[in-house]
C-alpha cells in the first residue's frame, strides 16, 4: 500500500518514496529549552511521535533526529544582545547552561508522561558550534553571505539573483517581502531587512559566546537545524517536520541555507503540524494563553473541571488530524474520556470472554483492516483510524450480547490489530493496567516497610500496616517465600 504524505513544499499529497528503500531519515525541530514546554508544544511533538510510530509500524527503519535548541535563539523584542537563555538566566539567577539543563530535563519528563518515544538522535545546538562555523564559512566562500562587524548574514538578494527562489516553501514573493519590511531606524548593518544572521557578534555582556574566525559570537537559530540535519541525515533527506509557525522564516531559511551550500533541495517532504488553540486562540507563552501539560494532568488549573490522565489528553489530540487546528476544551476532553473508556471496555471484553466460533459474520476483518491501513497511509489520518476502531468496538459489544458471531481466527486477528493500533501506533496506554502496576509497586513498598518494622521489633507499626490494609480489603499472607497479598 502506498503511503501518501502532504508535502508543504508542493502543497499536495504525494506518494512517499524514501531515498533509501525501507529507510526514512526524519528531522523535527525540537524545543528551545529556556522555559517549560506548554501543551501546544506537546501537541506538535506528539503529532510527530505518531508519525514516527506509524512509519515504524509500516516497516520503515527510521532515523529520527530531534534537536534541542540551547543557544542562539534571540528574543522576540529584537534585542540582539540578548538571547532567551541569557534573559531567563538573569531572571532565575542561574547560569545559562543551568537553564538549559533544567528545562531539558523537564521537557523529557513531560514527553515521557505522554508516552512519546525518544528520537534516535537528540543533538544540541551547543554541541555543534564547529559545524555551524564551517557552514557559515562555506556560505561566505560561495558568496551567499557577507560579514559586518563580526556578524555574518545570509544574502537573500544574492540567493535570488542566482535563481534560487527565496520564499518557495512559504509561498512568499520576495518583492512583497521587501516591500513589507522596512529598516525602521536605518541603523541595521544588514544589506536588506530579509537577510538573516548566520553568526552574531557577541556584545561584552553576552555570556553564551564562542570563538570564530569573525571574533567571539554565537550562531543564528536557523543555522543549527541545517548543521545537525546535514550531519546526521545527509545533504538531502526524506522528511523535515515542525509546527506550522516555523514554516516562515525558520524553515524557509533552512531551505535557503541547504540549497546555497549543497546545490540541492535539502528536504524531500516538508511536514507541518497545526496549532493547539485554547479559547479559540493559539496557545502561546507570550500572550499568556496557555496551560502547562502537568497542570492539565494534575487538575491544578482554572480552565478544566477536573484532572485528565495523560493518555486521555493523547487520545483527544489523536482525534484531530495533525494538519487541523485543535481547540482544547473541557467538553471535548470529557467526550474523549468517555470514548477512550469505551475502547478499553471493548478490549476487556475481547480478552475476558470466550466466544464460540462461527463461520458466518457480518464483520469482515480483512476489509476492516484494509480501511484502517488506508486511513493511516492517507497522510497519517488518526481521526479516521479512530472512527474505525469505534466501529470494531460496536461489533465487539454486539458479539458479547450474542447478536453477532465471528470465527476464532478472525477474532484473534481483530485482537492483534486493535492492540497494535491502539497501543503501538496511537501510543495510548491502558490506564487500568497501569494503575494495577502502580498498586502492586505501592503494596511491595508497604510490605517492605512492614518487614523492616518487624525486624526492628516495632510490632505496633507492623500490625498497623497489616490491619489498615485489611480494612481496605487487602490481606497480607506471610509464607516461607515471603509476604504475598490478595485483594478482595
Ligand atoms: P519552540 O520551543 O518555541 O521552538 O516550539 C517548539 C515546537 O512547538 C515548535 O515546533 C512550534 O511550532 C510548536 N508550537 C508552538 N506553539 C504551538 C501551539 N500553540 N500548538 C502546537 N504547536 C506549537
Ligand atoms: Zn529547526
In this structure, which topology does domain 17-273 adopt according to CATH?
Rossmann fold (3.40.50)
Ligand 1 atom closest to Cα of 282?
19
Q: Is the CB of 44 under 6 A from ligand 1?
A: yes
User: What is the whole-number distance in angstroms between the Cα of residue 176 and the centre of ligand 2?
Assistant: 24
Q: Is the CB of 31 under 6 A from ligand 1?
A: yes
Between CA 378 and CA 367 the distance in angstroms is 16
Q: Over range 3-8, report the average pLDDT.
A: 98
Q: Is the CB of 241 under 6 A from ligand 1?
A: no
Q: Is the CB of 276 under 6 A from ligand 1?
A: yes
Between CA 292 and CA 39 the distance in angstroms is 6
Annotated binding site: 29, 225, 250, 254, 285
User: What is the whole-number distance in angstroms between the Cα of residue 119 and the centre of ligand 1?
Assistant: 17
Q: Residue 454: which H helix or E strand, with range?
A: helix 431-455
Say what percent of the chain tops pLDDT 70. Answer: 97
- Residues 114-151 as b or e (16 or more Cβ within 10 Å = b): bbbeebeeebbbbebbebbbebbbebbeeebbbbeebb
Read off the pLDDT of residues 423-435 as tens digits, 9 standing for 90 and up.
999 999 998 877 7
Q: Is the CB of 282 under 6 A from ligand 1?
A: yes
- Most ligand 1 atoms within 8 A of CB, residue of 41, 248, 324 to mutate: 41
Between CA 266 and CA 280 the distance in angstroms is 35
Across 267-406, the runs of DSSP E, i.e. the strands, are 267-273, 276-278, 281-282, 326-328
Between CA 349 and CA 343 the distance in angstroms is 10
Ligand 1 atom closest to Cα of 274?
21
Atom 14, ligand 1: residue with shortest CA distance: 41
Atom 7, ligand 1: residue with shortest CA distance: 41
Between CA 352 and CA 400 the distance in angstroms is 10
Cell, residue 163 = 535563481
Starting from the CA of residue 246, give the closest ligand: 1
Q: Is the CB of 274 under 6 A from ligand 1?
A: no
Q: Is the CB of 125 under 6 A from ligand 1?
A: no
What's residue 83's pLDDT?
Answer: 78
Q: Over range 396-411, report the average pLDDT.
A: 94
When pLDDT is cut at 50, 70 and 90, the band that residue 268 belongs to is: very high
Between CA 177 and CA 171 the distance in angstroms is 11
Ligand 1 atom closest to Cα of 73?
4
pLDDT at 199 over 60: yes
How many helices, marked H, and strands, marked E, lie in the chain?
Answer: 16, 15
87 Cβ neighbours under 8 A, 6+ residues apart: 34, 75
User: What is the whole-number distance in angstroms between the Cα of residue 409 and the centre of ligand 2?
Assistant: 47
What's residue 320's pLDDT?
Answer: 98
Q: Which residues of the chain form CATH 3.40.50.620?
A: 17-273
Between CA 234 and CA 45 the distance in angstroms is 23
**pLDDT, mean over the chain:** 93
Q: Which residues of the chain form CATH 1.10.730?
A: 277-424
Q: Is the CB of 283 under 6 A from ligand 1?
A: yes
What's residue 173's pLDDT?
Answer: 84
390 Cβ neighbours under 8 A, 6+ residues apart: 339, 342, 343
What's residue 118's pLDDT?
Answer: 98
Read off the pLDDT of residues 326-376 as tens digits, 9 standing for 90 and up.
999 999 999 999 999 999 999 999 998 888 888 889 999 999 999 999 999
Inter-residue long-range contacts of 448-454, CB under 8 Å, 24+ positions, other chains counted: 450/476, 450/483, 451/483
Annotated binding site for Zn(2+): 29, 225, 250, 254
Between CA 320 and CA 47 the distance in angstroms is 10
Residue 430 Ramachandran class (φ > 0 left, ψ -120 to 50 alpha, else beta): beta
When pLDDT is cut at 50, 70 and 90, the band that residue 79 belongs to is: low
User: What is the whole-number distance in angstroms between the Cα of residue 187 and the centre of ligand 1?
Assistant: 31
User: What is the whole-number distance in angstroms between the Cα of residue 60 and the centre of ligand 1?
Assistant: 27
Q: Over range 113-134, report the average pLDDT.
A: 98
What's residue 409's pLDDT?
Answer: 94
What's residue 367's pLDDT?
Answer: 98
Write down the residue that cell numbers 483527544 correspond to: 316
Q: Is the CB of 32 under 6 A from ligand 1?
A: yes
pLDDT at 78 over 70: no
Whether the Cβ atoms of residue 114 and residue 42 lie closer than 8 Å to each other: yes
Read off the pLDDT of residues 203-260 as tens digits, 9 standing for 90 and up.
888 888 999 999 999 999 899 999 999 999 999 999 999 999 999 999 999 999 999 9
Ligand 1 atom closest to Cα of 244?
12
Other CB atoms closer than 10 Å to residue 302's CB: what's the count?
Answer: 6
Other CB atoms closer than 10 Å to residue 338's CB: what's the count?
Answer: 10
Ligand 1 atom closest to Cα of 44?
22
Residue 488, classified by CB atoms within 10 Å of its CB into exposed (0-12), middle (13-18) or buried (19+), is: exposed
Q: To the nearest 5 percent, what fractions of the chain are helix, strand and coil?
A: 50, 15, 35
Antiparallel, parallel or unpaired: β 474-479 and 482-487: antiparallel
Task: Identify the CATH assignment for 277-424 out of 1.10.730, 1.20.5, 2.30.30, 1.10.357.
Answer: 1.10.730
User: What is the whole-number distance in angstroms between the Cα of residue 6 and the centre of ligand 1?
Assistant: 19
Ligand 1 atom closest to Cα of 30?
6
Read off the pLDDT of residues 293-325 as tens digits, 9 standing for 90 and up.
999 999 999 999 999 999 999 999 999 999 999
User: What is the whole-number distance in angstroms between the Cα of residue 92 and the centre of ligand 2?
Assistant: 26
- Most ligand 1 atoms within 8 A of CB, residue of 8, 31, 40 to mutate: 40
448, 455, 459, 456: which is closest to 485 by C-alpha? 448
Whether the Cβ atoms of residue 485 and residue 474 lie closer than 8 Å to each other: yes
442 Cβ neighbours under 8 A, 6+ residues apart: none
Q: Is the CB of 275 under 6 A from ligand 1?
A: yes
Q: What is the number of alpha carbons within 13 Å of residue 375 lying toward its C-beta? A: 22
What DSSP string describes 6-52? EETTTTEEEE---SSTTEEEEEE---BTTS---HHHHHHHHHHHHHH
User: What is the whole-number distance in angstroms between the Cα of residue 114 and the centre of ligand 2?
Assistant: 22
pTM of the model: 0.89
Amino acid at each position: 500500500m502506498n503511503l501518501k504524505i502532504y508535502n508543504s513544499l508542493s502543497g499536495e499529497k504525494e506518494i512517499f518514496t524514501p531515498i533509501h528503500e525501507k529507510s526514512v531519515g526524519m528531522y523535527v525541530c525540537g524545543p528551545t529549552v529556556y522555559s517549560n514546554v506548554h501543551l501546544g508544544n506537546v501537541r506538535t511533538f506528539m503529532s510527530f511521535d505518531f508519525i514516527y510510530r506509524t512509519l515504524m509500524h509500516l516497516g520503515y527503519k527510521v532515523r529520527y533526529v530531534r534537536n534541542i535548541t540551547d543557544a542562539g535563539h534571540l528574543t522576540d523584542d529584537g534585542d540582539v544582545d540578548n538571547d532567551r537563555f541569557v534573559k531567563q538566566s538573569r531572571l532565575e539567577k542561574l547560569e545559562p547552561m543551568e537553564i538549559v539543563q533544567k528545562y531539558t530535563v523537564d521537557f523529557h519528563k513531560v514527553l515521557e508522561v505522554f508516552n512519546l518515544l525518544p528520537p534516535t538522535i537528540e543533538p544540541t545546538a551547543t554541541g555543534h558550534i564547529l559545524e555551524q562555523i564551517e557552514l557559515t564559512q562555506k556560505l561566505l566562500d560561495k558568496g551567499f553571505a557577507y560579514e559586518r562587524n563580526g556578524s555574518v548574514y545570509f544574502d537573500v538578494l544574492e540567493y535570488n539573483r542566482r535563481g534560487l527562489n527565496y520564499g518557495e516553501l512559504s509561498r512568499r514573493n520576495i518583492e512583497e517581502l521587501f516591500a513589507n519590511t522596512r529598516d525602521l531606524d536605518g541603523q541595521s548593518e544588514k544589506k536588506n531587512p530579509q537577510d538573516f544572521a548566520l553568526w552574531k557578534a557577541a556584545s561584552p555582556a553576552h555570556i553564551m559566546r564562542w570563538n570564530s574566525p569573525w571574533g567571539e559570537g554565537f550562531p543564528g537559530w536557523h543555522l543549527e537545524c541545517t548543521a545537525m540535519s546535514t550531519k546526521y541525515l545527509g545533504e538531502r533527506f526524506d522528511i523535515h517536520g515542525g509546527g506550522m509557525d516555523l514554516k516562515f522564516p525558520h524553515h524557509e531559511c533552512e531551505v535557503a541555507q541547504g540549497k546555497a551550500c549543497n546545490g540541492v533541495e535539502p528536504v524531500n517532504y516538508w511536514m507541518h503540524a497545526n496549532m493547539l488553540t485554547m479559547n479559540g486562540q493559539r496557545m502561546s507563552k507570550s500572550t499568556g494563553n496557555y496551560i502547562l501539560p502537568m497542570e492539565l494532568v494534575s487538575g491544578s488549573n482554572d480552565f478544566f473541571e477536573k484532572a485528565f490522565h495523560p493518555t486521555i489528553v493523547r487520545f483527544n489530540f489523536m482525534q484531530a488530524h495533525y494538519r487541523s487546528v485543535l481547540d482544547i476544551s473541557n467538553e471535548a476532553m470529557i467526550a474523549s474520556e468517555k470514548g477512550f473508556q469505551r475502547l478499553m471496555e471493548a478490549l476487556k471484553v475481547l480478552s475476558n470472554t470466550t466466544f464460540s466460533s462461527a463461520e458466518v459474520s457480518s464483520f469482515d476483518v480483512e476489509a476492516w483492516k484494509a480501511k484502517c491501513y488506508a486511513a493511516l497511509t492517507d497522510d497519517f489520518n488518526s481521526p479516521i483510524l479512530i472512527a474505525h476502531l469505534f466501529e470494531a468496538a460496536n461489533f465487539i459489544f454486539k458479539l458479547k450480547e450474542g447478536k453477532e458471531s465471528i470465527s476464532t481466527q478472525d477474532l484473534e486477528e481483530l485482537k492483534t490489530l486493535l492492540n497494535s493500533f491502539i497501543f503501538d501506533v496511537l501510543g495510548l496506554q491502558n490506564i487500568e493496567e497501569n494503575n494495577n502496576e502502580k498498586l502492586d509497586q505501592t503494596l511491595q513498598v508497604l510490605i517492605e516497610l512492614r518487614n523492616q518494622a518487624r525486624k526492628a521489633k516495632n510490632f505496633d507499626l507492623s500490625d498497623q500496616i497489616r490491619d489498615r490494609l485489611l480494612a481496605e480489603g487487602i490481606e497480607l499472607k506471610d509464607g516461607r517465600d515471603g509476604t504475598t497479598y490478595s485483594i478482595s
